[in-house]
Homo-oligomer: A and B are copies of this chain.
């Protein structure tokens, strides 16, 4: 990189002190108009830009927010990033994005790098491996260092920090209720392993809705997908039973379930209603299009970053963790059209 022009260069070149240059560039009243004009003209001419690092060091703040996500090639998370970036930008912050790839080790490392002063605060959605391990000491360390931290979507209660979540239980309930209202009785649930708590919460909603209709949850039509293995194969198992509805906790599972249904000669939505989660492109463009629970990733990201910035900027106040719950909406599409 070319040698950058600094305040020192200007000072030397113009025969004044660095303080004078600094003040002149800030239009301070302490400096005479002629001097100011001279300095500003020179700075302009040579395209002077103040060095961010120096300012950050002096001000002890970076105006950067760290973000750690489990993955990025994923509609929900990319939407959240967008929300975070938007919110951050509006307040003059930039974001530094990292990925844990669902790995505990990478999450710990990334957290360490980010907490070395490179960022003013951190937003995280926890890796699934970490959720499985239940080892949250790296987060607790952050909290005790009082580095502002906001968790979203995949959160755990015993980390004392701000959180933004969707009402997963409510959403699971809403989805299941919708199927029941369509006259479906044997509703399969395609979910994640138990340690991914959002899956567990959505399942609670599912069970709650069933109980209200005096239907007993049937373990045979519930499957917890192991992402390492063949997903479709696992889904086929629930189709051995006779079912008339499917609630999948994400849109990929929903799409795969529709494929399996097709194999079995079941017509969606006539024979089978399908509902997914996360309103992504698959749901929109598959055919038939899939009814989903919209998670409002953009809103989540934006709320998370606003919470974080608030925490960063007024740290004087006594700390009391906040939890924001984003409500989710049912987005009706073809896969649950009532057979008229």
Contacts and interface: CB of A to CB of B under 8 A. Distances in A.
Interface string A228-245: 000000000000000000
B72 A94 contact: no
Contact of A1 (B1, B50, B146): B146
Interface string A26-54: 00000000000000000000010111111
Contact of A73 (B82, B113, B116, B144): B82
A116 B78 contact: no
A190 to B, nearest CB: 15
A53 B64 contact: no
A79 B77 CA distance: 12
Contacts of A14: none
A214 interface: no
A320 interface: no
A248 to B, nearest CB: 12
A145 interface: yes
A75 interface: yes
Number of copies: 2
A223 interface: no
Contacts of A62: 53
Given A53-B53, A64-B96, A95-B97, 14 more contacts: A47-B141, A49-B116, A51-B57, A53-B57, A53-B62, A57-B57, A73-B78, A74-B78, A97-B97, A252-B285, A259-B287, A282-B285, A286-B286, A287-B287
Interface string A90-113: 000011111100000000000011
Q: How large is the interface on A (under 10, 10 to 19, 20 to 34, 35 or more residues)?
A: 35 or more
A1 B315 contact: yes
Contacts of A252: 281, 285
A180 to B, nearest CB: 26
A79 B21 CA distance: 45
A275 to B, nearest CB: 16
B118 A94 contact: yes
A293 to B, nearest CB: 18
Contacts of A262: 287
A83 to B, nearest CB: 10
A81 B141 CA distance: 29
Nearest to A79: B73
Contacts of A280: 281
Nearest to A254: B285
A112 B148 CA distance: 27
A115 B49 contact: yes
A56 interface: yes
A181 B281 CA distance: 30
Interface in A120-137: 120
A337 to B, nearest CB: 16
B99 A82 contact: yes
